[in-house]
Copies of this chain bind each other. A is one copy, B any other.
Amino acid sequence: MRLIFAIPMFTVLMFYGVSAQLAQAQVPGQLNLMPVPASVHMGTGQLVVDPSFSVGIGSAPDPQLRRAVDRFLNSLRRETGMLPLDMSVADASKATFVVTAARSSKEVLELGEDESYTLEVTASGAKLSAPTTLGAMHGLQTFLQLVVNTPTGFAAPEVNIQDKPRFPWRGLMIDCGRHFIPLDVLRRNLDGMESVKMNVFHWHLSENQGFRVESKKFPKLQELGSDGLYYTQEEIRELITYARDRGIRVIPEFDMPGHTTAWFVGYPDLASAPGPYTIERRWGVFDPAMDPTRESTYKFLDEFIGEMTKLFPDQFFHIGGDEVNGKQWDGSPKIQEFMHSHDIKDNAGLQAYFTARVQKIVSKHGKTMLGWDEILQPGFPKDIVIQSWRGQDSLAQAAKLGYRGLLSSGYYIDLIQSAAQHYAVDPTSGAAANLSPEESARILGGEDTMWSEYVSPENIDSRVWPRTAPIAERLWSPQNVSDVNSMYQRLDEISRRLDWLGLTHNSSYFPMLRRIAGTDDLSALRVLADVVEPVKGYSREETSPVEPTSLMPLNRLVDATRPESSTARHFNDLVDSLLAGKTDAGTKAQIRKWLVLWKDNEARLQPIIGQSFLLKEVAPLSQSLSALAASGLEAMDYLDRGERPSDDWKAQQLELVKRAEEQKAQLLIMIAPSIQRLIDPTAPVEAPKKVGH
C-alpha cells in the first residue's frame, strides 16, 4: 500500500533543531553497536581476534546454531581478511569464544520467542549465553560489531552485555510487485536485517504491476500476470529457509481486493468489471478490484490461500486490504444490487464484508490474518493484526479496540526522508502514548516499507540501507536510546560494515555516476551529487517530466544520489556551530573551503555536461549550486567584516535561495537552508515544498 494524499509535513532539516533536546549519550564512545543493547558495561582490556581464534558450542548439538556459528566465522574472516583455514570451530573446553543456547528455537519461528542473550568478553576469551538459538544468533551479531582494528590486531573490547528487544516484531517490507526484485538482492537484504537484529521479512508479492509467485493451482496468475518475473515455489521455500537461518520470519502479502490488476490478466472473472485486463505499467491507485459479491471469488481464494498457506509456514498471512477506490463497484449494477439486498451501505461496508469472508478462509487454513489499517472493522476476531500506514492514531485505535498492531507510518523509506526523521518516530508515541499498559502491550513493533516504484536491483540497497538500521534500533533498543548525533556517528560505521555483506548501498554509487557521466573523470559530478538528494515524499511523481511507468530506466542522477547527503549534514552542522557563536578560524575556514569547492564546481562540470544525455538535465542544478555557494561566500565576507549587508542585497540573495530550493531534475540542493541562514540568520527557514510527511 502507498500513501497517496498529502499529510502534515515537517522539514527534513528539523532534526538539527531536535538533536540538542535529545542529547543523551547512550553508549561509550568507542562502541559502534546498532542497535544499542539494553545494558552495556565496559572493561579496559581487549580480546585479540587472530587466526587462532576459535568458537565452541557449549550446549547440545543444534544444526541451526552450528550453521549460525559457521556463518559468523565466515563474516569474521571476511571483515578481517582471513581465509577459510584461519579460525575454527573447536571443542567448547578449548575455544576462545563459547556459545550456549539453552534450547533450540522452533523449526518455524514464532512471534514472542525469547530473543535475549548475555555476552561477556574478557582479555582471555568470550562467552555468549542465551535461552534460545534465536537469542544466541543475535549475540553473535553483537560480537561481530565489537571487532575492530587496533594497534595490536583485530580485537573486541572487554565488555559485559545483557540484551533483549523492546518489541517482538521488527520488520522490513519489500514490494516485489511494482518492480521485481531478484532473489540475490533479497538474500543480501536478509543478511543486512540479521546484522541489525530485525526478525520479520514482509514480502509484498502481488500488485497491479505484477503477480510474483508461482501458483500450481492457478498458473495463469504468474504466466500472464508477471512478464515472466516471478518466484518459483522451490525458490520461495529456499528463501524462507535462508531467512529462518538468520532468525527472520517470512510473512507473505497478497494484496486484495484492490491492487489486483495483475491477477485479472489470467483470471478476469475475479474482477468487478469485465475484462480483458493487461498488466498495469503506471503507478497509482487504479479501479480494478475483486468482485466481493460472487461466491466464485471466495472459492478461488479458498483454494489459492490454501495453496499459499502451505507454502509459507509462518503463523501470519497478510491480505493487504488497502486503497480500494470503489469505482468498479460503483459501476456495476449487479454489485449495487447485492449491496442493496444485503443492506450494505457503502463501499467500506462492502470491503468489510469481503474482508470478513477472507478472514474466515485464512482462519480455516490455520493462519492469523494481518492487513493494512483499512481492514479494521469492529466485530472481527481479536487475533488479527493491523498494520498502520495512515498514522499512529489508527494504531492506537486498534489497540484500544483490543487488536494487536504494527507501526509503518513514519517508516516509509521510499519517501526519501532522513534517518533522523524515521528515528524520531516511536510506536508508542503520539496517540499511542496515552494507552493503558494493557493496550500498549498490543503494539507489537513496526516495519519499514520499501515500495518499489523507483528502485531497481541496482539502487534498492541504497534506499533500504543504512536507514533501516536506525529503525531497527528504534524497535530493539530501550526507548530512551534516542540521541541523534550518537546515531549518526554509529551509523557511518555500521553502513561500512554492511558493505561486507555484499549490500551495494555504498558501492553502487560510483558505477551509477560513471554511467551518467560517460567518463571516468567523476570528480565534478561527485561534488554535485554528494550534496543533493532526491525530491521527498510523493513529489517524485508530481515533478516527473513525463508520466513515470514501470518500463522507465532508473539511471538518472535522481536514482543514483543517496536519500541523505552526509556532506550537507556536515556542512549544515558547521553553519549551526558558526551561528551558535563558534566563530573560530577553523570552523570558518571549513565553511569557506566547501563554498569555494561548490562555487568553482560549475566550471569544472560544464565541459563534460554536453557529452552525456543523462547529464543534460543536471545543468541548472549545477548552476544553482554554484550561485548558492557564491552567495554564501559573500555572506561570510559580511560576517567576517562584522558588517550588516544592505536590505537590497539580502532580498536579492534570499530570492536566489528560494529559486535554488526548487527541485531541478527532481533533486534538491540540501545546503540551501544553511546558505539562507548565513545570509540572514533571523529569517525563518521554510520547509521546502513537498518535503516529507
Contact surface of A with B, Cβ cutoff 8 Å: 51, 78-86, 148-153, 179-180, 227, 229, 456, 458, 492-493, 496, 499-500, 507, 511-512, 514-518, 520, 550-555, 559, 610-614, 616
Contact of A456 among B51, B83, B550, B552 (CB under 8 A): B83
Query: Which residue of the partner chain B has the closest CB to A551?
Result: B85
Q: Given known contacts A83-B456, A84-B229, is B551 in contact with A51 (CB within 8 Å)? A: yes
| Cα–Cα, bound, A612→B148 (Å) | 9
Question: In the complex, A500 Cα to B508 Cα: how many Å?
Answer: 10
Complexed CA–CA distance, A492 and B514 (Å): 13
- Are B227 and A84 in contact (CB-based, < 8 A)? yes
Of listed A151, A500, A550, A554, residue having the most chain B CB within 10 A: A151
The distance in angstroms between the C-alpha atoms of A84 and B153, with both chains bound, is: 46
CA distance A85 to B179 in the complex (A): 10
Apart from the given pairs A149-B613, A152-B613, 14 other A-B contacts in the complex at a CB distance below 8 Å: A51-B551, A51-B552, A80-B553, A81-B512, A83-B550, A84-B180, A85-B227, A149-B515, A149-B516, A150-B611, A150-B612, A151-B610, A151-B611, A492-B520
CA distance A496 to B520 in the complex (A): 8
Q: Which residue of chain B is the closest to A81 with respect to CB atoms?
A: B555
Residues of B within 8 A of A180 (CB): 84
Could you say how many copies of this chain the assembly holds?
2
Residue from B86, B152, B554 in contact with A81 in the complex, judged by beta carbons closer than 8 Å? B554
Q: Which residues of B contact A550 (CB under 8 A)?
A: 83, 85
CB-defined contacts of A150 to chain B, threshold 8 Å: 518, 611-613
List chain B residues, Cβ under 8 A from A153.
Answer: 613
Distance (Å) between the CB of A279 and the closest chain B CB?
9
Q: Which residue of B lies closest to A508 (CB)?
A: B507
Nearest chain B residue, comparing its CB with the CB of A78: B458
Known: A150-B613, A610-B151, A611-B151. A555 touches B84 (CB 8 A): no
Task: Report how far A492 CA is from B511 CA in the complex, Å.
Answer: 14
Asked if B51 and A81 make an inter-chain contact with CB atoms under 8 angstroms apart, the answer reads no
- Contact across chains for B612 and A83 when beta carbons are under 8 A apart: no
A-B contact list, 15 entries, CB within 8 Å: A78-B458, A79-B515, A80-B555, A83-B456, A83-B553, A84-B180, A86-B553, A149-B515, A149-B612, A149-B613, A150-B518, A151-B612, A152-B613, A492-B520, A496-B520
Whether the pair B515, A499 counts as a contact (CB closer than 8 A) is: no
Please pick, from B83, B554, B610, the residue contacting A83 in the complex, using a CB distance under 8 A. Answer: B554
* Residues of B contacting A496 in the complex (Cβ-Cβ under 8 angstroms): 514, 520
A550 to B458 alpha-carbon distance, docked (Å): 36
Q: Which residue of B lies closest to A614 (CB)?
A: B149
Q: Is the CB of A499 within 8 A of B518?
A: no
Q: Which B residues are in CB contact (< 8 Å) with A611?
A: 149-151
Q: Is A500 a contact of B492 with CB atoms below 8 Å? A: no
Alpha-carbon separation in the docked complex, A20 to B470 (Å): 57
* A153 closest partner in B (C-beta): B613
Residues of the B chain whose Cβ atoms lie less than 8 Å from the Cβ of A507: 507
In the complex, are the beta carbons of A551 and B499 less than 8 A apart?
no
Chain B residues with CB under 8 A of A518:
148-150
Bound form: Cα–Cα A180–B86 in Å? 13
Q: Are B81 and A515 in contact (CB under 8 A)?
A: yes
Chain B residue, CB-CB nearest to A459: B81
Contact A83 B512, beta carbon cutoff 8 Å:
no
Note all chain B residues with C-beta closer than 8 A to A493. Answer: 520
What separation, in Å, do the CA atoms of A229 and B74 have in the docked complex?
14
| A657 CB, nearest partner CB in chain B, Å | 31
User: A500 — nearest CB in chain B belongs to which residue?
Assistant: B511
Which residues does chain B contribute within 8 Å of A553, judged by CB atoms? Answer: 51, 80-83, 86
**Bound CA span A152–B612, Å:** 7
A550 to B84, CA, bound (A): 10
* CA A458 to CA B502, docked complex, whole Å: 12
Distance between Cα atoms of A544 and B673 in the complex (Å): 56
Q: Smallest Cβ distance from A511 to chain B, in angstroms?
A: 6
- A556: min CB distance to chain B, Å: 8
Q: Which residues of B contact A511 (CB under 8 A)?
A: 499-500
Q: Smallest CB-CB separation from A560: which chain B residue?
A: B81
Cα distance, A84 to B550, chains bound together (Å) = 10
The answer to whether B515 and A80 touch across the interface, beta carbons within 8 angstroms, is yes
A611 to chain B, nearest CB (A): 6
Q: Which 7 A/B pairs are nearest by Cβ-Cβ distance? A: A81-B555, A149-B518, A82-B553, A149-B612, A153-B613, A85-B551, A81-B553
Bound-state CA distance A516–B154 (Å) is: 10
Give Cα distance in the complex from A317 to B179, angstroms. Answer: 46
Q: Which residues on B sit within 8 Å (CB–CB) of A500? A: 511
A227 to B85 Cα, complex, angstroms: 8
A514 surroundings in chain B (CB, below 8 A): 496
State in angstroms the CA–CA spacing of A366 and B507 once bound together: 48
A613, B80: Cα distance in complex, Å: 12
Query: What residues of B have a CB within 8 angstroms of the CB of A151 in the complex?
Result: 610-613, 616
Nearest-neighbor residue (CB-CB) of A613 within chain B: B153
A81/B612 contact (C-beta < 8 A), A149-B515, A500-B511, A520-B496 known: no
A80 to B512, CA, bound (A): 9
Output the nearest chain B residue to A152 by Cβ-Cβ distance: B613
Q: A512 — nearest CB in chain B belongs to which residue?
A: B81
In the complex, the chain B residue whose C-beta lies closest to that of A150 is B613
Q: List residues of chain B with CB within 8 A of the CB of A520.
A: 492-493, 496
Residues on the B chain within 8 Å of A149, using CB: 515-518, 611-614
Name which residue of chain B comes closest to A556, CB basis: B81
* Alpha-carbon separation in the docked complex, A554 to B507 (Å): 22
Nearest CB on B from A549, distance (A): 9
Q: Which residue of B has the minimal Cβ distance to A229?
A: B84
Distance between Cα atoms of A511 and B503 in the complex (Å): 13
